[in-house]
Amino acid sequence: MAIWVIKDGQREGPYEEQDVRELLYEGTYAESDPAIRDGHLDWSTLGRILGRQSPAAEPPSRPLIPPAEPGSASEPPAIPGVASPEGAAGSPAQPGLPNSPDRPIQVAIVDFDMPFGSMVMLMVKWTIASIPALLILGGIAVILWVALFAVIAVLLQH
C-alpha cells in the first residue's frame, strides 16, 4: 500500500513501505513526520505507521480523508495548508538527502565481506595497537602490587 508523507509543508509520495523505511534510515524523514497509508482514514506519524512507535504516541492533528480504493496508489485529497508535490501524477518530486549538520545520519553496520588476507592484516594491526595499552595497564598493576606488598611489609614489622 502506498504511503504519503508531509515534510516541510509539502505532501510527498506515494512511496512503497521499503522506500519509506530507507528514506527514514537515511534521515530524509523523521518518525514524527505526519504520514498516511493508502486506505487509512486519518493521518498519523511515520513511526507509528511503520510500527516503530507505540500506539500511545499522539498522531498529528490532520483532517480525516476518505480511503482510496484497495490496491490503488491514487493521490489522497488535498489538505488545507499543505502543498501537493511538484510534477505529474505518476512522477512526484523526490525528496533529496538532508544537507544539514543538525540532522545526524545514523549508521548501523549489519554485515561486511572482507578477504581473508585483509582480515589477518586487520587483526595484526589491532594486536600492535593494543601493545601501548597493555604496557600502561601492566605498569599500573606493578605499582599497585608494590604498594600492597609495602603496606603488608610495614604491618608485619610491627
Quote the percentage of the chain above a pLDDT of 90: 27
- Beta carbons within 8 Å of 36's beta carbon, 6+ residues apart: 3, 4, 42, 43, 44, 49, 62, 65, 76
Q: Tell me the pLDDT tens digit for each residue of 74-91.
A: 555 455 455 555 443 443
pLDDT top residue among 8 and 149: 149
What mean pLDDT is reported for the chain? 75
Strands (E), the chain: 3-7, 10-15, 34-37, 44-45
Q: What is the pLDDT of residue 94?
A: 39
Q: Tell me the pLDDT tens digit for each residue of 110-155.
A: 887 889 999 999 999 999 999 999 999 999 999 999 999 999 999 9
